[in-house]
């Protein structure tokens, strides 16, 4: 998928209860002590770094693990609230501290530390963060659940780190970043992470403004009409759906990210189809003129076009896309509506309100689509 700002790592409602759980392991110790026993880490050096958003990490301390892979960091004056990274050999992972921790105890295996497959006690904020990351790596928690986590996480530092790692520079999440920053400003005014996160958000807003200025279709504009045939030859016009909230979805059977996103669109469609919402899908399957030039005859082109159309139909059926509005001119990237809407990467979506105006662009994930639908439904 072209020009896609990665948003790689993107919690279930039942999981959210974990984030306020487990302060187990706290002990009556002076300052902050981090003890660990890691299988396979015998005689390795263990580093503790301080993580500052949008800035190079700073090495705070280094200790040697013993022959059993045990080590200890001792801070008699305590460690301040913040984000920290531990490194053992080639493995590294992040922990979140709220500044009240006494004794933290870590046990695990060196080979799985980076997948957060370890046990950490003594820090409520770290426990929540580690369990989330472990669930993401093990795929027991889906990227769609990230928004729920950052909205309800009791640690504003944990919410910041998760949002920064998983939502990153995607302008669609500016509102989420701002909400987290407001919490940080209240919890840790003047801290370096609070200040740097604010700078990051300002940079993101500037980037988004520049990106929007270069887009052909802007929020608030009337949605240009589309009138194309479905696989069975019946023509559907986007303008005929005025009065409904419509998700205009550009996709293709050959587009892996599109196919992975389809279940999210189906989920939202099934939830709101009886409340005035529908989906209008434009496929970029088919052949562009440059593709056609590779074939020796019109008969060969026709055969390939038939095959391309069949792939489109099979993808609709396989992905279970139940709405009737599936159209295409079968011209791939030369698709007329794609050029009209300035689409140069897919999946690409445009949410259209009941008045036929663009309400939001480039929505991804069931939670994000639903959030914007509810604003205009």
Structural domain spans, the chain? 13-210, 227-376
The residue to which tokens 């105006």 are assigned: 357
Q: Where is average pLDDT lowest: 12-21, 96-105, 363-372?
A: 12-21
Rounded to an integer, the average pLDDT of 85-107 is 96
Q: Which two tokens stand for residue 145?
A: 């659940």
307-362 residue pLDDT tens: 999 999 999 999 999 999 999 999 999 999 999 999 988 999 999 999 999 999 98
Rounded to an integer, the average pLDDT of 245-264 is 96
Angle at 143 between CA 11 and CA 275, to 5 degrees: 80
- Please give the pLDDT value at position 288: 93
Does 159 have pLDDT greater than 80? yes
Cα separation, 57 vs 192, whole angstroms: 12
CA 151 to the chain's CA centroid: 14
181-231 residue pLDDT tens: 999 999 999 999 999 999 999 998 888 777 666 677 888 999 999 999 999
CATH class of 227-376: alpha beta
Rounded to an integer, the average pLDDT of 110-114 is 95
Instruction: Name the pLDDT band for 54 (thresholds 50, 70, 90).
Output: confident
Cα separation, 297 vs 90, whole angstroms: 56
Does 16 have pLDDT greater than 60? no
User: Which residues are 358's β-sheet partners?
Assistant: 352
- Beta strands 348-352 and 358-361 are antiparallel
Instruction: Name the pLDDT band for 98 (thresholds 50, 70, 90).
Output: very high
Instruction: Name the pLDDT band for 23 (thresholds 50, 70, 90).
Output: very low
- Please give the pLDDT value at position 208: 75
Cα separation, 113 vs 253, whole angstroms: 37
Q: Which two tokens stand for residue 38?
A: 């890691």
DSSP string, 302-320: HHHHHHHHHHHHHHHHHHT
Closest-CA residue to 255 (of 297, 284, 292, 281): 284
Strands in 235-287 per DSSP E: 235-237, 245-251, 277-283
- What number does CATH give the domain 13-210? 2.60.40.1120
Q: Where is average pLDDT lowest: 15-29, 120-134, 164-178, 340-354?
A: 15-29
232-251 residue pLDDT tens: 999 999 999 999 999 999 99
Cα separation, 284 vs 337, whole angstroms: 10
How much is the mean pLDDT over the chain? 89
- Taking the model in full, what pTM does it have? 0.59
Cis peptide before 81 (omega within 30 of 0): no
- Please give the pLDDT value at position 212: 66
Does 21 have pLDDT greater than 60? no
The residues, any chain, with a CB within 8 Å of residue 100's CB and separated by 6 or more, are: none
CA torsion, ordered 339, 340, 341, 344, to nearest 10 deg: 10
- Please give the pLDDT value at position 269: 98
Does 70 have pLDDT greater than 50? yes
268-279 residue pLDDT tens: 999 999 999 999
Does 264 have pLDDT greater than 80? yes
- Please give the pLDDT value at position 144: 72
Does 262 have pLDDT greater than 50? yes
Please check whether residue 366 is in contact with residue 12, taking contact to mean a CB–CB distance below 8 angstroms. Answer: no
Cα separation, 266 vs 188, whole angstroms: 41
Cα separation, 362 vs 352, whole angstroms: 12
């Amino acid at each position: 998928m072209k020009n896609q700002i990665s948003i790689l790592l993107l919690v279930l409602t039942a999981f959210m209860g974990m984030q306020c759980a487990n302060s187990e392991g706290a002990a009556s110790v002076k300052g902050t002590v981090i003890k660990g026993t890691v299988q396979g880490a015998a005689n390795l050096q263990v580093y503790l770094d301080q993580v500052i958003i949008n800035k190079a990490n700073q090495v705070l301390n280094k200790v040697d693990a013993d022959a059993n892979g045990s080590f200890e960091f001792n801070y008699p004056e305590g460690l301040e609230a913040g984000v920290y990274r531990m490194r053992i050999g080639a493995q590294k992972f992040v922990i979140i501290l709220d500044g009240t921790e006494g004794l933290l105890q870590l046990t695990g295996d060196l080979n799985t530390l980076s997948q957060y497959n370890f046990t950490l006690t003594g820090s409520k904020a770290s426990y929540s963060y580690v369990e989330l990351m472990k669930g993401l790596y093990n795929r027991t928690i889906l990227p769609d659940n990230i928004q729920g986590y950052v909205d309800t996480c009791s640690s504003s530092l944990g919410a910041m780190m998760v949002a920064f790692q998983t939502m990153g520079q995607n302008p669609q999440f500016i509102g989420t970043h701002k909400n987290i920053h407001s919490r940080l400003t209240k919890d840790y005014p003047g801290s370096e992470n609070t200040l740097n996160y604010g700078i990051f958000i300002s940079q993101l807003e500037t980037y988004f403004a520049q990106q929007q200025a270069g887009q052909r279709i802007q929020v608030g504009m009337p949605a240009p009409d589309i009138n194309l045939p479905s696989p069975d030859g019946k023509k559907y016009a986007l303008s005929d759906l005025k009065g409904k909230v419509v998700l205009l979805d550009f996709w293709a059977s050959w587009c892996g990210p599109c196919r992975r996103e389809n279940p999210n669109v189906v989920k939202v469609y099934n939830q709101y189809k009886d409340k005035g919402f529908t989906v209008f899908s434009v496929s970029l399957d088919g052949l562009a003129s440059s593709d056609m030039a590779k074939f020796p005859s019109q008969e060969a082109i026709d055969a390939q076009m038939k095959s391309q159309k069949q792939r489109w139909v099979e993808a609709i059926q396989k992905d279970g896309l139940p709405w009737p509005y599936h159209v295409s001119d079968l011209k791939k990237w030369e698709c007329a509506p794609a050029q009209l809407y300035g689409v140069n990467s897919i999946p690409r979506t445009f949410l259209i309100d009941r008045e036929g105006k663009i309400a939001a662009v480039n929505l991804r994930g069931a939670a994000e689509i639903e959030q914007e639908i509810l604003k205009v439904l």
